[in-house]
Amino acid sequence: MPNTKARETTPEARGRITARVPQSLVETLDLAASMVGSTVSQFVAQAALEKAERIIEHERVISMSAQTAAWFFELIDNPPTPTPTLANAMKRYNARKVSSEGSNSAFELGA
């Protein structure tokens, strides 16, 4: 297994982020970084990473009540009979999908 840590620390694997911020923010970040024994760059990168991971997790997770979850899974296990409009739409979709096999063109609505 390759050593990914060594690869990540090569100059080619690094990026740079710069930001102009008020001096008071720089001083606060410097104080916090020194309290945990890191550089300001390390502190800011770690804090930004933690925030980004929280945002990504929040946006990827769908929260629902137990009642809504039960309703949702019931519909998955026992879907309702398709309406005639839905059945016709699926026939048109499948016909277009088959006729455009091997094509990289996007599916066009209303065509």
Structure tokens at 24: 């008071």
Q: What is the pLDDT of residue 111?
A: 45
pTM for the whole structure: 0.51
Note whether 96 and 107 are within 8 A (CB): yes
Q: What is the pLDDT of residue 35?
A: 97
- The CA distance from 55 to 58, in Å, is 5
Q: What is the pLDDT of residue 46?
A: 97
Q: What is the pLDDT of residue 97?
A: 83
- The CA distance from 31 to 5, in Å, is 29
- The vertex-80 CA angle with 95 and 64, nearest 5°, equals 110
Q: Which residues of the chain have pLDDT under 50?
A: 1, 110-111
Distance of CA 19 to the CA centre of its chain: 24
